[in-house]
Chains A and B, each alone.
Chain A
Amino acid sequence: KAGVTQTPRYLIKTRGQQVTLSCSPISGHRSVSWYQQTPGQGLQFLFEYFSETQRNKGNFPGRFSGRQFSNSRSEMNVSTLELGDSALYLCASSSPGDKGYNEQFFGPGTRLTVL
């Protein structure tokens, strides 16, 4: 099976712009989660989508949004970019396992730099 793919891998934007990141989960996985990783704050949960519905949400401002399509692919959007949004954005997909727990599979991430 192909792993989680994220596009683009690298992105440079300027303050005030908006950006859209894409994530394709592992085939058959219906849950997609997004995380932000920065040196100062570490790995932080953004939101999780399941069957096109946002099921969990972290503590991020409304500038961060996402959506999931019927094929489980997901996008996240950040509007009005700020310097502090520079980070590695990670997407993870998962599916309930037969052992009663889920294992999240992470993609390689999108490195966003805001100038």
Chain B
Amino acid sequence: LAKTTQPISMDSYEGQEVNITCSHNNIATNDYITWYQQFPSQGPRFIIQGYKTKVTNEVASLFIPADRKSSTLSLPRVSLSDTAVYYCLVGDTGSSYKLIFGSGTRLLVRP
């Protein structure tokens, strides 16, 4: 399973766009890139998943360059409620239901 590296923490202000980058140099051909969000004392929540190029949903965008060795989660116009820990995961989720979580990025959104 590919190891991921992401910043330990980030600070932002309400209304700003936040970009969290994750490095995964050993990503395999069958691996997808998935991001989860976790609030204190709650289970993680799926945000977005992608394989290549760009994926967008109602809450975020995921940018994946051609070499797929990194990915960037983009949160547009963050609010205070986006303060949470964000996890980047890489794995062949098509055949394995085992998620390997790293340390995550603790995002603090200030007013």
Residues of A in contact with B, size category = 20 to 34
B46 touches A108 (CB 8 A): no
Give chain A's interface residues, CB within 8 Å of chain B. Answer: 4, 31, 33, 35, 42-45, 48, 50, 55-56, 58, 88, 90-92, 94, 96, 100-109, 111
Interface size on B, residues (CB 8 A): 21
Interface-centre pick from A35, A100, A102 (highest chain B CB count, 10 A): A102
A45 touches B43 (CB 8 A): no
Interchain CA distance A31-B98 in the complex, whole Å: 10
Of B42, B43, B93, B94, the residue contacting A92 (CB under 8 A) is B43
Instruction: Knowing A101-B32, A101-B93 are in contact, say whether A106-B98 is a contact too (CB < 8 A).
Output: no
A89 CB to nearest chain B CB (Å)? 10
- Cβ contacts under 8 Å, B99 to chain A: 33, 35, 45, 92, 104
Give chain B's interface residues, CB within 8 Å of chain A. Answer: 32, 34, 41-46, 49, 87, 93-94, 96-104
- Cβ contacts under 8 Å, B97 to chain A: 31, 33, 48, 50, 55-56, 94, 102, 104
Known A33-B98, A35-B99, A101-B49; further 13 A-B contacts with Cβ < 8 A: A31-B97, A43-B87, A48-B98, A91-B43, A92-B99, A100-B94, A101-B34, A103-B49, A104-B44, A105-B46, A106-B44, A107-B43, A109-B42
Interchain CA distance A40-B49 in the complex, whole Å: 27
- Cβ contacts under 8 Å, A50 to chain B: 97
- Cβ contacts under 8 Å, B32 to chain A: 101
